[in-house]
Amino acid sequence: MCPPTQPQMPLVRVENNWMDNFLESIRGKSKPGADIAEGHKSVLLCHLATIAQRTGNMLHTDPVAMKLWSREYEEG
């Protein structure tokens, strides 16, 4: 009997310009394509939520801080 085979994933072409930019930034040959502080702000809450989930704890925030995270959306 033949062993079961795993389904083959379709090949997807991925542009690696971001990786090239990252490596060139580390080497000091170019500036990063995105600001590090902006990237940090973009993923911070996701990281904290993942930590809370993995540890089985809740993420508690200051009510004043929650007002800063809120957004106003247009109707529609």
Q: What is the pLDDT along the chain (76 residues), one digit of tens a residue?
A: 556 666 666 665 656 688 888 889 999 998 888 888 888 888 988 999 899 999 999 988 888 877 777 777 788 7
Q: Residue 65 sits in which domain range? A: 35-76
User: For residue 45, is it within any domain?
Assistant: yes
pTM: 0.47
User: For residue 66, is it within any domain?
Assistant: yes
Number of domains in the chain: 1
Q: What is the pLDDT of residue 52?
A: 93
Cα–Cα distance between 48 and 30 in angstroms, integer?
Answer: 31
Q: What is the pLDDT of residue 64?
A: 84
User: For residue 73, is it within any domain?
Assistant: yes
Kind plus residue range of the DSSP H or E element containing 67 = helix 63-69
User: For residue 72, is it within any domain?
Assistant: yes
CB of 22 closer than 8 Å to CB of 32:
yes
User: For residue 59, is it within any domain?
Assistant: yes
User: For residue 6, is it within any domain?
Assistant: no
User: For residue 75, is it within any domain?
Assistant: yes
Phi and psi, residue 20, nearest 5°: -60, -45
